[in-house]
Structure formats: structure tokens, C-alpha cells
A = this chain, B = another copy of it.
Amino acid sequence: MEASKNEGDVAREIAGMLLKIGAIKINTENPFTWSSGWLSPIYCDNRLALSYPSIRNYIKKQLAEAVNFYFPIVEAIAGVATAGIPQGALVADLLGLPFLYIRSKAKGHGLENLVEGKVVREQRVVILEDLVSTGGSSLNAAEALKSNGMQVLGMVAIFSYGFEISNKNFRHAGVELHTLSNYQILIEEAINQNYVSGEKLALLQSWREAPDKWKP
């Protein structure tokens, strides 16, 4: 399986880059509070990678390759607001494809839409996302494109925590998701590179299994 071996290399490479620029913050004693209210020992800010041109380029090329590999009949790229927009636009640019983006909610006046850009019915679109946690907002974006008559081929994201709830939500919505890197590889890299001590591994894994109930 050459393809998956290569994917493993890319996943480790990206995890390593995100750790190196401080985009991954791990704090098991004083956890972060997510927008969902969940406590989490980890916070992942991929947006920092936008400020490092060589890392941004590497991610752009890997995203574009994944789009071409998994969805070769793609006709347009759509980015999920806000963090999926910049890399989405760069991928559309690299592939020479139309770009659209999906707001999290309409601005509530005039001609504002959830989907910005030119909606072409039946057009085959791949969604670009920054980070998938429960999949809620990512799948809302897919739903917005579908309800505008577009054909959603699937989604490519930089990173996913790999929560069971997310897998279930994507299966239920019938949306194929591919990610460049993921939580399991990230914590392995974090331990390999001494960003966190090996004894934290069990704790970090237990969080991923029940993030809604976890306490430090």
C-alpha cells in the first residue's frame, strides 16, 4: 500500500511542522475550553501555519494532491469559514478551479448567502476544511452546498481529532472525509519529539475517547 505509507509520512511531517511552530498547545493541568464547552488538554491552531510561507506551501500542495487523488472529477473548491478559506483559495488557485466559501451563518441582510461565490447547480465540489472536531460546522457547510444544488464529492481537511462522534456524523451525512494529519499521529509525534512526556500518552488518549466527559 504505497499510497497509505506516503500518507503516513505526510501526516507525521505536518504534525511535526505544527508542533515546531507552536500551533499545538498541550496542557494537561490547565485544560483549554472549547466553544462547545468541552475541556481539552490540547488546542490546535493551524492558522499559524498561514504565517510560515514554506509550511503553508507544503500544506497547500498536499491538500491539492489529496483533492486530485481522491476526487479527480472535481470542478470547484469550497472553503469553510473562516479557517478553511485561506487554504481553500490557495488550493483552488493551484488547481486553476473556481472557488467558493461557506459562512457559518448568513449575515442576515440583503443578498447575503451562506454560500459566497458563483453557485453552479450540479457542479462537483470538494470542500476544504482546516480542522474537524465533531464535524458539526464542516457538515453544515456540506449541507449548505447541497441545498444550493451543488454536488459535494467530499471533504479534505488538514487535521482531524478522529472522534467517534465525528466519524458517525460524516457517515450519517454520507460525506467522504480525508485528512492530512490526525490526533493519534500528533500525540505520537509530540512524545517522540519530547513536546510532552511519554507518561501523558494514556491521558491524551483517554481524552479523545470521551472528550465530552473528560476532566483533568
Point out residues on A near B: beta carbons under 8 Å: 21, 25, 32-35, 43, 45, 47-48, 50-53, 56-57, 60, 76, 79, 81-83, 85-90, 92-93, 96-101, 103, 107-112, 116-118, 120
Contact = CB atoms under 8 A, between A and B. Distances in A.
Contacts of A32: 110-111
A98 B134 CA distance: 30
A86 B101 contact: yes
A86 B89 CA distance: 5
A35 B85 contact: no
A53 B33 CA distance: 40
A159 to B, nearest CB: 15
A82 B83 contact: no
Contacts of A52: 98, 118
25 contacts: A33-B110, A35-B108, A45-B116, A47-B116, A47-B117, A48-B117, A50-B92, A50-B101, A50-B116, A51-B76, A51-B99, A53-B92, A53-B96, A53-B97, A60-B93, A82-B82, A82-B116, A83-B116, A85-B85, A85-B86, A85-B89, A86-B86, A86-B88, A87-B89, A93-B93
Given A34-B110, A56-B99, A93-B56, A50 B86 contact: no
B82 A101 contact: yes
A107 B112 CA distance: 20
Given A86-B88, A86-B99, 9 more contacts: A35-B108, A35-B112, A50-B98, A50-B116, A51-B98, A51-B117, A53-B97, A82-B82, A82-B116
The 6 closest A-B pairs by CB, nearest first: A51-B118, A86-B89, A51-B98, A47-B116, A51-B117, A50-B99
B109 A34 contact: yes
Contacts of A118: 21, 48, 51-52
A47 B110 CA distance: 15
Contacts of A53: 92-93, 96-98
